Amino acid sequence: MTNIPSIQQQVTNSNLTDDELYVMKHKGTERPFTSPFLEHETKPGFVGKYTCKNCDTLLYESSTMFDSGCGWPSFHTSAKGNLYPDIPNGHEIKGKSGKIGLKDNNIIQYVDNSLGMQRIEVCCLNCDSHLGHIFKGEGWEKILGKGKNDRYCINGISLNFKEEN
Ligand SMILES: [Zn+2]
């Protein structure tokens, strides 16, 4: 049996608001079309990085954001991360709760069978905070280009944005 490595770190930001805790800790969903980050998708000039609001780990770059029209900030690719560099992307890793997921840069992907359907949940690899879900096979590659077929549907409330000029 393969020994599956575990996430060791856990960072808790006690400054999170009730709304942030509802999404990040209790896996809730923010109301669609409420995130101020949706403006970034259609207005040029927003260059920067999105980090975990709980632990500030780098999660996404603005260059991978796109306007999916779904009501939540959308990204096609996770940011290149430096957490657990010995574990390749796509490899199994055990989250803080003991649940096994797949490493995806600084993100961990879990199978989520809630709400009577199978989805893939994405969480911060550092602190296991809930970020949103990833949807595959929607055909975005035809619009966005080769290799850009995934849609990370992310609660903006789970993210910090740091603008870069
Ligand atoms: Zn985090």
What domains are there in the chain, each with its CATH number?
18-79+96-163 (2.170.150.20)
The catalytic site residues sit at 153
d(CA 79, CA 83): 11
Ligand 1 centre distance from Cα of residue 97 (Å): 14
Ligand 1 centre distance from Cα of residue 116 (Å): 27
d(CA 153, CA 38): 11
Ligand 1 centre distance from Cα of residue 8 (Å): 12
The rounded Cα 32 to chain-centroid distance in angstroms is 16
d(CA 125, CA 144): 26
Ligand 1 centre distance from Cα of residue 1 (Å): 29
Determine the pLDDT at residue 2.
60
Ligand 1 centre distance from Cα of residue 69 (Å): 26
Whether the pTM exceeds 0.85: the reply is yes
Give every CB contact of residue 5 below 8 A, 6+ residues apart in sequence.
84, 87, 93, 94
Determine the pLDDT at residue 152.
98
Determine the pLDDT at residue 1.
45
Determine the pLDDT at residue 153.
98
Determine the pLDDT at residue 62.
95
d(CA 14, CA 146): 41
- pLDDT string in tens for the chain (165-residue length): 466 777 766 667 778 999 999 999 999 999 999 999 999 998 877 899 999 999 999 999 999 999 999 999 999 999 999 899 999 999 999 988 889 999 999 999 999 998 899 999 999 999 999 999 999 999 999 999 999 999 999 999 999 999 997
